[in-house]
Structure 1
Amino acid sequence: MSLYDIPLTTLDGRPTTLGEHAGRALLLVNVASRCGLTPQYEGLERLQQEYAERGLTVIGLPCNQFGRQEPGTAEEIQTFCSTTYGVSFPMMDKVEVNGEGQHPLFTELTRVQDAEGVAGEVGWNFEKWLIGPAGEPVARFRSRTEPESDEVVAAIEAVLPAAQEQTD
């Protein structure tokens, strides 16, 4: 199954898939509102603003599995993200990223290796996966890797649709 075909639900309850964003680079992030890493929303939003016109979409996937740091309702999450961090990128409904209730998207994403060659379970909030415009996983960044770090930005720039057209 393609990542594009896996059913998701938006934070406002609308059924969707990543296929709505086909042809764009995607940065998927498991997020939480009450985590020490929550300020990463600022960098994620800046990436969305800087690269959206060039073909990047950041997508937040709230998860309450790590220290119960995302306990709110969909409405509370939406309000927090928009009022505290000005989040404009798409947010999905809460998902489980590990364990028996693991969302099918994360069944696929946990197969992706990080820079050290390690795949497997999500370790904490704010792990990031870069998906290329054709829907293929390109990179995985662990929680403490800042959204605007050199390695994340370089990986994004390498897979932006505009960058792909220049190399073809």
Structure 2
Amino acid sequence: MFHEFGHALHSLLSRTDYQHFSGTRVALDLAEMPSNLFEYYAWDYRLLKRFARHHSTGEIIPEKLVNSLQGARNMFAATEMQRQVFYALIDQMIFGEQPEPARDMSQLVYELKREHTSWNHVDGTHWHIRFSHLLNYGAGYYSYIYAKCFASTIWQSICEEDQREVFQTWRS
């Protein structure tokens, strides 16, 4: 939800003379940055405690639970990065230069997974046909990793600390 809200705000708040260079219609290196930035808010207790409540008791989400979830998320950060690199490799192989004759997509995915990840391939799953970014990015999915780096830098250098002022203002 926060990721997609970042896309919505990116489109709604863009100001440009040329509509084809606004919102998510920017260079791929930047298109995913606002959405990745907004994902940080979904993990920040200062925001979560304002709306995340138990459906029947109304109890605010416990900070200890949020910290535990953040720890689990951080524990698997390397695995998440490996997944993003794997996706970028598939994208590059499909849409990059093709030095050899076209290959079976499932076989290509299998080979890349075996060579570049620690995951076991499951025959017959064909998950790559559901990976819609392969159609939109066309050899540019690597930019998703850039966007994550840009968002992390912005969060750590600007948003993480500046939020304190924003939340104090909302209380007043």
Larger % of helix: which?
2
TM-score, structure 1 as length reference: 0.25
Larger % of strand: which?
1
TM-score, structure 2 as length reference: 0.24
User: Rg bigger for which structure?
Assistant: 2
